Every structure is written in C-alpha cells, then in structure tokens.
Amino acid sequence: MRVGILGVPLDLGASLRGTDMGPSAIRYAGLADALGAIGHTVTEFGNVTVPVAGQIHGAAPLRYLDEIVSVCERVADAVGGLMDAGQVPLVLGGDHSLALGTLAAVGRRHPDVGLIWMDAHGDFNTPETSASGNIHGMPLAAIVGRGDPALVNVGGLHPKVQESQTALVGARDLDPGERLALRESAVTVLTMKEIDELGIADVIRQALQVASGNGSRPLHLSLDMDVVDPIRAPGVGTSVDGGLNFREAHLAMELISQSGALVSMEIVECNPIRDQENRTGRLAAGLAASAFGKRIF
C-alpha cells in the first residue's frame, strides 16, 4: 500500500492551544518507520499551512470560522491530490475541525463512504447548541449536513457522509443539545456503556456493519486520541476519564484493518503540551500501524 502522510497543525477549533504540534509529535514517535516495517511505501507530504491564533481574533458563536474553513479547503485539496495520485491518506492533526476537509475529499472520490468516528465527545454541536463556539465540537454534525452553512459546505460537498452510514464509538461526554440531536439522527452511537457491556470487539463489528456493510463499502476512520483513557493518552485536547485501554484501542484498529475497507484515516487532538514523554504521540503512531495492518502474530 502507498500511504501518504499529511500534517494539519490546526488548533483554532479549540480553546486550549497545543494541538498544532500534534503532527510533529506523531511523526517523531516513528510513524513512517512503523508503517514501512509492515511493508507500506510511505511518502511525506509535509503540512498544510495554518494561521497562528495569536495573529487573529476568534469570537463566538463560531470562533475562527473563516480561518478554519480556509484551512479545511486546503486540506480537501491536499487530500484529494494524494488520493488522485494513488496514495491512501493518513492525516495528522491538529484539532478535529480538520475532518471537514478530509471527508470533503474522500466523499467526492467515494460517494458511498462510511464513517467510524472514535471520540470521547459527540462533536455534534451546532452554533445553537455550543456553549463555547469552539468548532472542534461541531465537525461530525457538519459532515452529515447539520450546522452553519460555511462548515457544512466545505469542499462543495454536503452531506459528506450519510448519517445512516456513520458510527460514533467511545463517546462518554455529550453536551445536552448534541445528545438530543444525536438521538434524533440516524447516526449509530456506541458509547463506553456499550463497550463495557459487550466488549470492544462486538462494538467495532457493529460499527463496521453500519459504516462499511462489513467491508462492502469504503471506510474512513476518524480517530480522536481522547477516545483512549487519559491514563494511557494524557496528551489530548480535551481529556475525559473512563476511555479505552491500550489493548481495546489496538484491537479496534486491528478489526478495522481486517475489514479491508479502510481507504483513509486521520488522527487528531494530540496535544504535546499536555503529554508525558510523548506517550500519546507514541500511542498514536502505534495505533496507526495497527489500523494499517500490523499484527501481533
């Protein structure tokens, strides 16, 4: 497989700075070597240009809207170029807002793409339900066609993924408004409660059925590192106790890889400022390797 790595050093979507350094942390942890060791041809495509927060002013209800939309349009162009050149995109963030650009490109080339969104949060807010105005809490809603038109229309494609082909996995911290919206949507929500009751293997198999029809449709994986418990992944944008443990996270990646459906992936919300000796960056690199086929035996 030809894997193209693209960095998006974006932290405008969150209140806490630092995720702009996430791509460097994951690369430094040996991502390219880990993928090369399992037989992939890895090409580095550098970083998308992102403005610095201190040079601009972001105000509610949609903080840094114009800047984030501009970055996501550049992401869509870059990811699209990778795919057109036969690369499988692996996008490194950066806050979760960048997924709007990734899915715009992937959705254009795979109109039937399904989505597994692994996250402690719902990311299903709109300007009406968000208390902060932080856009990293809104991308999943916008991807399926809900919210501010500027976000919904990134890349000129809306919706980018059908709600009925979207699975949110690992959620454990939902705002009241997005909880209601998710209940009224066709998105399949598999929280930590389902993981506790059924086990990660059954939950991921359910998610694969929803998103890819068990491998019959292409799949995009959006991995927010805060889905992992902060004991294992302390360096994230917004940590929440009670997440996946080390083996649950790797098994999820291994099962997704085994489906044969993965056509693109992003890893987001790695924040080295909050990390300890790059533990989260190293875990992110390892999880990417598992998603792209690394096995124990």
224 catalytic? Reply is yes
Distance between CA atoms of 141 and 208, rounded to whole angstroms? 20
Q: Active-site residue among 11, 20, 40, 96?
A: 96
Alpha helices in the chain (DSSP H): 22-28, 31-37, 65-84, 99-109, 139-143, 149-152, 176-184, 192-198, 200-212, 246-258, 279-291
Q: Active-site residue among 40, 121, 220, 250?
A: 121
Distance of CA 219 to the CA centre of its chain: 13
Specify the amino acid at residue 266. Answer: E
84 catalytic? Reply is no
202 catalytic? Reply is no
Q: Active-site residue among 226, 248, 266, 275?
A: 226
Q: Active-site residue among 67, 148, 194, 224?
A: 224
Residues in the chain: 297
119 catalytic? Reply is yes
Q: Active-site residue among 148, 178, 194, 269?
A: 269
Q: Active-site residue among 67, 95, 119, 178?
A: 119
269 catalytic? Reply is yes
Distance between CA atoms of 10 and 96, rounded to whole angstroms? 9
Q: Active-site residue among 40, 110, 136, 250?
A: 136
Specify the amino acid at residue 68. Answer: I
Q: Active-site residue among 95, 123, 229, 254?
A: 123
Q: Residue 114's closest CA among 80, 75, 165, 79?
A: 165
How many helices (H) and strands (E) the chain has is answered by: 11, 8
Three-state SS at 42: strand
Enumerate the active-site residues.
Answer: 96, 119, 121, 123, 136, 224, 226, 269
